[in-house]
Amino acid sequence: MTGGPKRRVVDTSSGRSDGLERCPKCGSTDVVHRIDSSMLMCTFCRNEWNETSLEAKFGFDSPIDQLRGTLLGSGASNTPESSEAVVTLKCGACGAEVVVNTAEALQSRCHWCRNTLSINQQLPNGAVPDGVLPFSITRDEAIKRIEEFVKARKFFAHPTFVKEFAASEVVGVYLPYLTVDANASVELEGQGEVLIRTRTVSTGSGNNQSSKTVYDADLYQLGRAFDILVDDIQLESSQQRADQDTSRNTNNIINAILPFDVKHAVTYNANYLRGYTSERRDMDVRQLMRAADEQTLSIARARANESTRQYNRGVRWERESIAVHGTRWLALYVPVWLYSYYQERKDGPGLLHYVAVNGRTGETMGSVPVRQGRLIGISTLIGGVITAASVAVVIGAAIGGFLW
């Protein structure tokens, strides 16, 4: 997904580099995010406010069909391979220099004047995005949803997990995502089948007689070509989260709680992150272009299939092509409540399980350690019941029906 030859970067930085995110009313740096009101609040003067909409402030809400070339928010710019996670901030209040490890936090207190220092300038290491989507689901709500999720699976859960499970260990984390809008044209070519009739064909005789069902269908070559506008494809931009090696962890469940309502993202302010952890983006647009192409084609197939219902035996697309006229990429922090549990396994390396709650919608998905013996026993029982029912049907058919 190249988005055409032209590449333009929109500066979404705050323009500040003094490390101070102040209350606009009194100037205090003691600012917190209140989930119940979805606003920032100064703990000194109690003033409440919100940052402006990211899309509205920088014109990212312009029509997608007008996109040409590649448009990037500056927070989505490439991250150099040699970028440093540790930066030094010069306190704008007293002049002291404070070291912040952006891999662990984006705020720190000045050890001299006690002002809260924030990473309020966009760094080349991917730590500061274009915007942030604040939490709207509280920690208590997340704990309740995780408890309900685990309770529904308790019968099959491993007894050690049931004993050690503690939903209170849930943590709030901001995960890095890249969102992309795309203006593209798609062409699909393939084959479709229309069922003409169904026949039963018998072969052999006596005890060796067998029959099979034959489907007669007409085969057609078909194609579809159309323009497609895609809004807010959401792609993980942390290599660790994108690593979906199910032999080691179950972090693929994060994709199961999508989508996030990124239209409500606001311009970046580090105070939204206070009290939470965050992960630094380490994947660039060029690394995610193929994933964006694949998702766009998946949407295109679904759209094309709506116009091929007359092919009642199915459609197989054999050639697919996409021409991208324009794209718009933004880097965001999105909110997730996360519970993790490490399962020790005797027959190999341990497995890290996660239960995740979308910090905006409350959508919950996860993985719990399974009690293999019970699961196998239930599966065997179900298999036996199905087999017995099948035999009963055959016997019943042979004697001309069932006697109830």
Residue 302 has pLDDT above 70, yes or no: yes
Residue 396 has pLDDT above 60, yes or no: no
Separation between Cα atoms, residue 279 and residue 261, nearest integer Å = 20
**Are 327 and 292 within 8 A, CB to CB?**
yes
Is residue 49 domain-shared with residue 113, that is, in the same domain? yes
Is there a domain that residue 265 lies in? yes
Is there a domain that residue 273 lies in? yes
What share of the chain in percent tops pLDDT 70? 78
Per the structure, how many domains does the chain have?
Answer: 2
pLDDT at 346: 77
Is residue 389 domain-shared with residue 329, that is, in the same domain? no
Separation between Cα atoms, residue 22 and residue 52, nearest integer Å = 15
Q: Bridge-partner residues for 267, per DSSP?
A: 131
Most confident segment among 4-13, 102-111, 222-231, 348-357: 222-231
240-276 pLDDT per residue, tens: 776 666 666 676 788 899 999 999 999 999 899 888 8
Q: Bridge-partner residues for 322, per DSSP?
A: 186
Residue 96 has pLDDT above 80, yes or no: no
pLDDT tier at 374 (50, 70, 90 boundaries)? Answer: low
Residue 386 has pLDDT above 60, yes or no: no
**Are 271 and 105 within 8 A, CB to CB?**
no
Is residue 41 domain-shared with residue 97, that is, in the same domain? yes
Is residue 267 domain-shared with residue 377, that is, in the same domain? no
Residue 37 has pLDDT above 80, yes or no: yes
pLDDT at 80: 62
pLDDT at 403: 30
**Are 39 and 48 within 8 A, CB to CB?**
yes
> What phi-psi label fits residue 355: left (phi over 0), alpha (psi between -120 and 50 degrees) or beta?
beta
Is there a domain that residue 204 lies in? no
Is residue 311 domain-shared with residue 376, that is, in the same domain? no
**Are 32 and 199 within 8 A, CB to CB?**
no
Largest distance between two CA atoms of the chain: 100
More confident residue, 269 or 14: 269
Name the average pLDDT for the chain. Answer: 84
Is there a domain that residue 34 lies in? yes
Spatial CB neighbours of 140, under 8 Å, sequence gap ≥ 6: none
What integer is the mean pLDDT of 53-70? Answer: 96
pLDDT at 77: 87
pLDDT at 383: 55
Residue 102 has pLDDT above 80, yes or no: no
**Are 20 and 30 within 8 A, CB to CB?**
no
Is there a domain that residue 193 lies in? no
Is residue 387 domain-shared with residue 257, that is, in the same domain? no
Is residue 389 domain-shared with residue 364, that is, in the same domain? no
310-321 pLDDT per residue, tens: 999 999 999 999
More confident residue, 18 or 351: 351
pLDDT tier at 281 (50, 70, 90 boundaries)? Answer: confident
Is residue 103 domain-shared with residue 129, that is, in the same domain? yes
pLDDT at 18: 63
More confident residue, 350 or 337: 337
What integer is the mean pLDDT of 18-40? Answer: 89
More confident residue, 376 or 304: 304
Is there a domain that residue 194 lies in? no
**Are 140 and 167 within 8 A, CB to CB?**
no
The whole domain housing 353 covers 7-186+224-370
Is residue 179 domain-shared with residue 56, that is, in the same domain? yes
Is residue 244 domain-shared with residue 382, that is, in the same domain? no
Number of H helices and number of E strands within the chain? 6, 17
Is residue 124 domain-shared with residue 266, that is, in the same domain? yes
Is residue 91 domain-shared with residue 164, that is, in the same domain? yes
147-202 pLDDT per residue, tens: 999 999 998 888 999 999 999 999 999 999 999 999 999 999 999 999 999 999 88
Is there a domain that residue 202 lies in? no
pLDDT tier at 307 (50, 70, 90 boundaries)? Answer: very high
Is there a domain that residue 366 lies in? yes
